[in-house]
Protein backbone atom coordinates (compact mmCIF):
# COMPACT_ATOMS: atom_id res chain seq x y z
CA UNK A 1 0.00 0.00 0.00
CA UNK A 2 2.80 2.30 0.90
CA UNK A 3 4.46 1.36 -2.34
CA UNK A 4 1.47 2.59 -4.19
CA UNK A 5 1.71 5.91 -2.44
CA UNK A 6 5.34 6.27 -3.31
CA UNK A 7 4.62 5.30 -6.87
CA UNK A 8 1.93 7.90 -6.98
CA UNK A 9 4.14 10.60 -5.56
CA UNK A 10 6.93 9.72 -7.94
CA UNK A 11 4.51 9.87 -10.80
CA UNK A 12 3.39 13.28 -9.74
CA UNK A 13 6.92 14.55 -9.45
CA UNK A 14 7.97 12.88 -12.67
CA UNK A 15 4.99 14.31 -14.46
CA UNK A 16 5.99 17.73 -13.36
CA UNK A 17 9.71 17.53 -13.98
CA UNK A 18 9.41 15.74 -17.28
CA UNK A 19 6.86 18.17 -18.53
CA UNK A 20 9.23 20.78 -17.22
CA UNK A 21 7.57 22.98 -14.70
CA UNK A 22 8.90 26.13 -16.24
CA UNK A 23 7.70 25.39 -19.72
CA UNK A 24 6.01 28.40 -21.23
CA UNK A 25 6.81 30.61 -18.30
CA UNK A 26 9.35 32.72 -20.16
CA UNK A 27 6.99 33.32 -23.08
CA UNK A 28 4.29 34.37 -20.63
CA UNK A 29 6.57 37.05 -19.23
CA UNK A 30 6.71 39.05 -22.45
CA UNK A 31 4.92 42.36 -22.24
CA UNK A 32 2.32 42.37 -25.02
CA UNK A 33 2.34 46.17 -25.08
CA UNK A 34 6.08 46.75 -25.48
CA UNK A 35 8.82 45.97 -27.94
CA UNK A 36 12.11 44.33 -27.07
CA UNK A 37 13.98 46.25 -29.75
CA UNK A 38 14.53 49.96 -29.92
CA UNK A 39 13.48 52.23 -32.80
CA UNK A 40 16.17 54.93 -32.61
CA UNK A 41 14.26 57.44 -34.74
CA UNK A 42 11.20 57.33 -32.50
CA UNK A 43 13.22 57.62 -29.31
CA UNK A 44 15.22 60.49 -30.83
CA UNK A 45 12.04 62.45 -31.51
CA UNK A 46 10.93 61.85 -27.94
CA UNK A 47 14.32 63.07 -26.67
CA UNK A 48 13.90 66.28 -28.69
CA UNK A 49 10.46 66.95 -27.27
CA UNK A 50 11.65 66.15 -23.75
CA UNK A 51 14.82 68.27 -23.78
CA UNK A 52 12.99 71.30 -25.16
CA UNK A 53 9.93 70.89 -22.98
CA UNK A 54 11.85 70.40 -19.75
CA UNK A 55 11.59 73.82 -18.18
CA UNK A 56 10.68 75.38 -14.89
CA UNK A 57 6.93 75.77 -14.95
CA UNK A 58 5.55 78.53 -12.82
CA UNK A 59 8.60 80.61 -13.56
CA UNK A 60 6.46 83.64 -14.25
CA UNK A 61 5.39 83.54 -10.60
CA UNK A 62 8.88 82.89 -9.23
CA UNK A 63 10.29 85.76 -11.26
CA UNK A 64 7.47 88.03 -10.13
CA UNK A 65 6.17 88.58 -13.65
CA UNK A 66 2.78 87.55 -12.37
CA UNK A 67 1.14 87.39 -9.02
CA UNK A 68 -2.22 86.51 -7.54
CA UNK A 69 -4.45 87.51 -4.71
CA UNK A 70 -4.35 83.94 -3.40
CA UNK A 71 -1.52 82.48 -1.33
CA UNK A 72 -0.67 79.44 -3.38
CA UNK A 73 -0.13 81.00 -6.79
CA UNK A 74 1.49 84.18 -5.54
CA UNK A 75 4.34 82.76 -3.54
CA UNK A 76 6.83 84.55 -5.74
CA UNK A 77 5.67 88.00 -4.80
CA UNK A 78 4.16 87.58 -1.35
CA UNK A 79 7.22 85.85 0.08
CA UNK A 80 5.30 82.72 1.00
CA UNK A 81 7.38 79.56 0.98
CA UNK A 82 6.81 77.60 -2.17
CA UNK A 83 5.25 74.23 -1.43
CA UNK A 84 5.92 72.94 -4.92
CA UNK A 85 8.69 70.98 -6.50
CA UNK A 86 9.35 73.46 -9.33
CA UNK A 87 12.96 74.32 -8.44
CA UNK A 88 14.29 70.79 -8.88
CA UNK A 89 11.98 69.13 -11.36
CA UNK A 90 14.07 70.08 -14.40
CA UNK A 91 16.98 68.22 -12.84
CA UNK A 92 15.05 65.12 -11.79
CA UNK A 93 13.08 64.96 -15.05
CA UNK A 94 16.05 65.40 -17.38
CA UNK A 95 17.90 62.17 -16.66
CA UNK A 96 15.11 59.58 -16.83
CA UNK A 97 13.82 61.30 -19.95
CA UNK A 98 15.96 63.13 -22.53
CA UNK A 99 19.36 62.09 -21.15
CA UNK A 100 18.52 58.40 -20.86
CA UNK A 101 16.62 58.44 -24.17
CA UNK A 102 19.41 60.02 -26.17
CA UNK A 103 21.81 57.58 -24.51
CA UNK A 104 19.67 54.67 -25.74
CA UNK A 105 19.58 56.23 -29.23
CA UNK A 106 23.38 56.51 -29.27
CA UNK A 107 23.77 52.95 -27.95
CA UNK A 108 21.60 51.67 -30.80
CA UNK A 109 23.17 53.81 -33.55
CA UNK A 110 26.77 53.06 -32.60
CA UNK A 111 26.31 49.51 -33.83
CA UNK A 112 25.79 50.55 -37.46
CA UNK A 113 28.54 52.46 -39.35
CA UNK A 114 26.01 53.42 -42.03
CA UNK A 115 24.16 55.56 -39.49
CA UNK A 116 27.01 57.94 -38.54
CA UNK A 117 25.02 61.06 -39.39
CA UNK A 118 22.23 60.07 -37.07
CA UNK A 119 24.84 59.23 -34.46
CA UNK A 120 26.48 62.62 -34.83
CA UNK A 121 23.16 64.43 -34.51
CA UNK A 122 22.28 62.35 -31.44
CA UNK A 123 25.60 63.21 -29.84
CA UNK A 124 25.09 66.90 -30.51
CA UNK A 125 21.64 66.62 -28.99
CA UNK A 126 23.04 64.94 -25.89
CA UNK A 127 25.61 67.74 -25.57
CA UNK A 128 22.83 70.33 -25.81
CA UNK A 129 20.65 68.50 -23.27
CA UNK A 130 23.48 68.35 -20.75
CA UNK A 131 24.39 72.00 -21.37
CA UNK A 132 20.89 73.03 -20.32
CA UNK A 133 21.10 71.18 -17.01
CA UNK A 134 24.57 72.32 -16.06
CA UNK A 135 23.68 75.91 -17.01
CA UNK A 136 20.83 75.69 -14.50
CA UNK A 137 22.38 73.65 -11.71
CA UNK A 138 26.19 73.90 -11.96
CA UNK A 139 27.94 70.69 -10.96
CA UNK A 140 25.84 67.71 -12.01
CA UNK A 141 26.32 63.98 -12.66
CA UNK A 142 27.70 63.76 -16.19
CA UNK A 143 30.28 61.07 -16.91
CA UNK A 144 28.41 58.39 -14.99
CA UNK A 145 24.96 59.72 -15.74
CA UNK A 146 22.21 57.52 -17.21
CA UNK A 147 24.21 54.33 -16.95
CA UNK A 148 21.82 52.55 -14.63
CA UNK A 149 21.06 49.86 -17.18
CA UNK A 150 24.37 49.58 -19.04
CA UNK A 151 26.75 49.79 -16.05
CA UNK A 152 24.44 49.34 -13.03
CA UNK A 153 25.50 52.73 -11.71
CA UNK A 154 22.64 53.76 -9.42
CA UNK A 155 24.25 56.71 -7.69
CA UNK A 156 26.40 58.57 -10.24
CA UNK A 157 29.05 60.94 -8.97
CA UNK A 158 28.90 64.66 -9.70
CA UNK A 159 31.34 66.31 -12.09
CA UNK A 160 32.63 69.87 -11.87
CA UNK A 161 30.87 72.22 -14.25
CA UNK A 162 34.08 73.30 -15.98
CA UNK A 163 34.94 69.66 -16.72
CA UNK A 164 31.45 69.17 -18.12
CA UNK A 165 31.75 72.20 -20.40
CA UNK A 166 35.18 70.98 -21.53
CA UNK A 167 33.83 67.54 -22.33
CA UNK A 168 30.76 68.90 -24.10
CA UNK A 169 33.11 70.94 -26.29
CA UNK A 170 35.21 67.97 -27.29
CA UNK A 171 32.09 65.85 -27.81
CA UNK A 172 30.78 68.50 -30.20
CA UNK A 173 34.02 68.53 -32.12
CA UNK A 174 34.01 64.73 -32.41
CA UNK A 175 30.39 64.68 -33.49
CA UNK A 176 30.97 67.28 -36.21
CA UNK A 177 33.85 65.17 -37.52
CA UNK A 178 31.53 62.17 -37.90
CA UNK A 179 29.28 63.77 -40.52
CA UNK A 180 29.44 62.09 -43.92
CA UNK A 181 27.23 63.61 -46.63
CA UNK A 182 27.13 60.33 -48.57
CA UNK A 183 25.30 58.48 -45.80
CA UNK A 184 21.68 58.61 -44.69
CA UNK A 185 20.34 60.89 -41.98
CA UNK A 186 17.20 61.52 -39.96
CA UNK A 187 14.10 62.53 -41.85
CA UNK A 188 10.94 63.86 -40.27
CA UNK A 189 11.97 62.22 -36.99
CA UNK A 190 14.25 65.21 -36.50
CA UNK A 191 11.72 67.86 -35.54
CA UNK A 192 14.28 70.64 -35.70
CA UNK A 193 16.15 70.35 -39.00
CA UNK A 194 14.66 67.26 -40.65
CA UNK A 195 18.13 65.68 -40.60
CA UNK A 196 19.84 68.54 -42.50
CA UNK A 197 23.56 67.95 -41.87
CA UNK A 198 24.63 71.48 -42.73
CA UNK A 199 22.18 72.97 -40.26
CA UNK A 200 23.20 70.53 -37.55
CA UNK A 201 26.82 71.55 -38.07
CA UNK A 202 25.79 75.17 -37.58
CA UNK A 203 23.89 74.19 -34.47
CA UNK A 204 26.91 72.31 -33.12
CA UNK A 205 29.33 75.16 -33.81
CA UNK A 206 26.94 77.66 -32.28
CA UNK A 207 26.62 75.51 -29.19
CA UNK A 208 30.41 75.26 -29.19
CA UNK A 209 30.52 79.06 -29.19
CA UNK A 210 28.14 79.25 -26.26
CA UNK A 211 30.02 76.59 -24.28
CA UNK A 212 33.27 78.28 -25.12
CA UNK A 213 31.96 81.57 -23.71
CA UNK A 214 30.85 79.69 -20.55
CA UNK A 215 34.51 78.70 -20.11
CA UNK A 216 35.80 82.27 -20.00
CA UNK A 217 35.83 82.40 -16.20
CA UNK A 218 37.48 79.06 -15.27
CA UNK A 219 39.90 78.89 -18.20
CA UNK A 220 40.09 81.90 -20.48
CA UNK A 221 42.79 80.45 -22.74
CA UNK A 222 40.83 77.28 -23.38
CA UNK A 223 37.73 79.37 -23.93
CA UNK A 224 39.50 81.36 -26.60
CA UNK A 225 40.64 78.24 -28.43
CA UNK A 226 37.09 76.87 -28.56
CA UNK A 227 35.44 80.13 -29.46
CA UNK A 228 37.85 80.59 -32.35
CA UNK A 229 37.22 77.00 -33.46
CA UNK A 230 33.49 77.65 -33.38
CA UNK A 231 33.73 80.86 -35.39
CA UNK A 232 35.96 79.14 -37.91
CA UNK A 233 33.18 76.60 -38.38
CA UNK A 234 29.74 77.66 -39.53
CA UNK A 235 27.46 79.45 -37.09
CA UNK A 236 23.74 80.09 -37.06
CA UNK A 237 23.47 83.45 -38.74
CA UNK A 238 20.04 83.63 -40.32
CA UNK A 239 16.43 82.95 -39.40
CA UNK A 240 16.29 79.82 -41.54
CA UNK A 241 18.91 78.21 -39.33
CA UNK A 242 17.07 78.79 -36.07
CA UNK A 243 16.68 75.60 -34.08
CA UNK A 244 13.01 75.32 -33.28
CA UNK A 245 10.27 72.79 -32.92
CA UNK A 246 6.97 73.58 -34.58
CA UNK A 247 4.28 72.32 -32.24
CA UNK A 248 0.80 71.26 -33.12
CA UNK A 249 -2.09 73.33 -31.87
CA UNK A 250 -4.16 70.28 -30.93
CA UNK A 251 -3.85 66.56 -30.52
CA UNK A 252 -1.80 64.72 -27.92
CA UNK A 253 -0.37 66.85 -25.18
CA UNK A 254 3.23 65.93 -26.01
CA UNK A 255 2.84 67.44 -29.49
CA UNK A 256 1.73 70.80 -28.13
CA UNK A 257 3.84 73.70 -26.93
CA UNK A 258 4.53 72.66 -23.33
CA UNK A 259 4.72 76.13 -21.82
CA UNK A 260 1.54 77.31 -23.49
CA UNK A 261 -0.19 74.03 -22.80
CA UNK A 262 0.67 74.16 -19.13
CA UNK A 263 -0.61 77.69 -18.67
CA UNK A 264 -3.66 77.37 -20.87
CA UNK A 265 -4.68 74.27 -18.96
CA UNK A 266 -4.13 75.58 -15.50
CA UNK A 267 -4.49 79.14 -14.37
CA UNK A 268 -5.37 80.63 -17.77
CA UNK A 269 -7.81 77.96 -18.80
CA UNK A 270 -10.92 80.05 -18.73
CA UNK A 271 -10.32 82.55 -21.47
CA UNK A 272 -12.63 85.35 -20.40
CA UNK A 273 -10.14 87.74 -18.87
CA UNK A 274 -11.75 87.79 -15.45
CA UNK A 275 -11.59 84.37 -13.87
CA UNK A 276 -8.51 82.28 -13.43
CA UNK A 277 -8.59 79.46 -10.91
CA UNK A 278 -5.40 80.63 -9.24
CA UNK A 279 -5.96 84.33 -9.89
CA UNK A 280 -2.69 84.90 -11.77
CA UNK A 281 -2.28 88.34 -13.40
CA UNK A 282 0.63 90.55 -14.38
CA UNK A 283 2.55 91.87 -11.43
CA UNK A 284 2.97 95.59 -11.01
CA UNK A 285 6.74 95.32 -10.39
CA UNK A 286 7.20 93.79 -13.82
CA UNK A 287 4.84 96.12 -15.65
CA UNK A 288 6.34 99.17 -13.99
CA UNK A 289 9.79 98.05 -15.07
CA UNK A 290 8.69 97.67 -18.69
CA UNK A 291 7.03 101.05 -18.46
CA UNK A 292 10.15 102.66 -17.03
CA UNK A 293 12.37 101.23 -19.78
CA UNK A 294 9.71 102.03 -22.38
CA UNK A 295 9.86 98.44 -23.53
CA UNK A 296 8.18 97.93 -26.91
CA UNK A 297 7.02 94.44 -25.86
CA UNK A 298 4.71 95.87 -23.22
CA UNK A 299 1.49 95.77 -25.24
CA UNK A 300 2.34 92.51 -26.96
CA UNK A 301 2.47 90.50 -23.74
CA UNK A 302 -1.20 90.39 -23.04
CA UNK A 303 -4.68 89.78 -24.21
CA UNK A 304 -7.37 92.10 -23.01
CA UNK A 305 -10.96 90.98 -22.78
CA UNK A 306 -13.95 93.21 -22.88
CA UNK A 307 -17.20 91.46 -22.20
CA UNK A 308 -15.44 88.14 -22.60
CA UNK A 309 -14.07 88.96 -26.06
CA UNK A 310 -10.38 89.57 -26.78
CA UNK A 311 -9.45 93.06 -27.97
CA UNK A 312 -6.37 93.15 -30.14
CA UNK A 313 -5.61 96.89 -30.39
CA UNK A 314 -2.10 97.36 -29.06
CA UNK A 315 -2.73 100.80 -27.63
CA UNK A 316 -5.73 99.53 -25.72
CA UNK A 317 -3.79 96.59 -24.34
CA UNK A 318 -1.01 98.86 -23.18
CA UNK A 319 -3.45 101.19 -21.51
CA UNK A 320 -5.09 98.30 -19.65
CA UNK A 321 -1.82 96.79 -18.56
CA UNK A 322 -0.68 100.03 -17.09
CA UNK A 323 -3.95 100.49 -15.30
CA UNK A 324 -4.59 97.00 -13.91
CA UNK A 325 -1.41 95.26 -12.79
CA UNK A 326 -1.80 93.44 -9.48
CA UNK A 327 0.07 94.89 -6.54
CA UNK A 328 1.67 92.22 -4.38
CA UNK A 329 -0.36 93.11 -1.31
CA UNK A 330 -3.66 92.30 -2.97
CA UNK A 331 -5.62 89.74 -0.99
CA UNK A 332 -9.03 89.96 -2.62
CA UNK A 333 -9.95 88.81 -6.08
CA UNK A 334 -10.15 91.89 -8.31
CA UNK A 335 -13.64 92.17 -9.72
CA UNK A 336 -12.48 94.27 -12.65
CA UNK A 337 -9.34 93.13 -14.40
CA UNK A 338 -9.69 92.22 -18.04
CA UNK A 339 -6.08 91.30 -18.64
CA UNK A 340 -4.79 87.88 -19.35
CA UNK A 341 -1.20 86.96 -20.09
CA UNK A 342 -0.69 86.03 -23.69
CA UNK A 343 0.94 83.00 -25.22
Sites for another protein among residues 9-38 (CB under 8 A): 9, 12-13, 15-16, 21-22, 24-26, 28-38
Is residue 145 within the footprint of another protein (CB under 8 A)? yes
- Cβ–Cβ under 8 Å, residues 310 and 303: yes
Binding segment toward another protein, per CB under 8 A, in 58-66, 87-95, 205-213, 304-312: 87-95
Q: Is 3 in the site for another protein (CB under 8 A)?
A: no
- Least CB distance from residue 249 to another protein, whole Å? 10
What are the backbone dihedrals phi and psi of residue 306, each rounded to the nearest 5 degrees, phi first?
-125, 120
Among 51, 104, 109, 320, binds another protein (CB under 8 A): 104
What is the distance between the alpha carbons of residues 31 and 27, in angstroms, rounded to a whole number? 9
Near another protein by CB under 8 A: residue from 57, 65, 86, 96: 96
Contact with another protein (CB under 8 A) among 52, 53, 60, 101: 101
The answer to whether residue 86 forms part of the interface with another protein (CB under 8 A) is no
Q: Is 111 in the site for another protein (CB under 8 A)?
A: no
Contacts (CB under 8 A) with another protein, residues 179-218: 188-189, 191
Q: What is the C-alpha separation between 121 and 149, in angstroms, rounded?
A: 23
Helix 100-109 vs helix 116-137: crossing angle, to nearest 10? 160
> Within 123-142, which residues bind another protein (CB under 8 A)?
140-141
Q: What is the DSSP letter of 56?
A: -
Residues 278-337 that bind another protein (CB under 8 A): 278-279, 331-333, 335
- 8 Å CB contact between 273 and 282: no
CB of 95 or CB of 205, closer to another protein: 95
Rounded CA separation 319/335 (Å) = 18
Per CB under 8 A, the segment of 92-100, 116-124, 208-216, 320-328 that binds another protein is: 92-100
Is 153 or 178 the residue whose CB approaches another protein more closely?
Answer: 153
The nearest distance, CB 24 to another protein, in angstroms, is 7
Number of residues that bind another protein (CB under 8 A): 85
DSSP string, 158-200: EE-HHHHHHHHHHHHHHHHHH--TTS----TT-TTTTT-HHHH
* C-alpha span between 94 and 55 (Å, rounded): 10
Cβ proximity of 198 and 234 under 8 Å: yes
Cβ atoms < 10 Å from Cβ of 306: 11
Interface of this chain with another protein, residues 41 to 80, rule: CB under 8 A: 41-43, 45-46, 49, 69-72, 78, 80
Closer of 29 and 182 to another protein (Cβ)? 29
Q: How far is CA 187 from the centre of its chain?
A: 21
The SS3 call for residue 255 is: helix
Among 242, 253, 300, 306, binds another protein (CB under 8 A): 253
Amino acid sequence: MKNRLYKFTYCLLALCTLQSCDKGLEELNINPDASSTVSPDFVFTKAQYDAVGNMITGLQGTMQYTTSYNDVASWGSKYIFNQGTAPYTVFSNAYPNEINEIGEVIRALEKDPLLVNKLAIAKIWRAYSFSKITDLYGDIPYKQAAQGYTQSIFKPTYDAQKDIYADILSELEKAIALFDATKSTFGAADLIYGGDITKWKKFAYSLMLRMGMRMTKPDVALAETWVKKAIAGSLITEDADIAKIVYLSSGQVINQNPLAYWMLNSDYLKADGVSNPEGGKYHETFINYLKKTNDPRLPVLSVVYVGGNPVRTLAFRKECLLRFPIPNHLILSPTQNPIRTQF
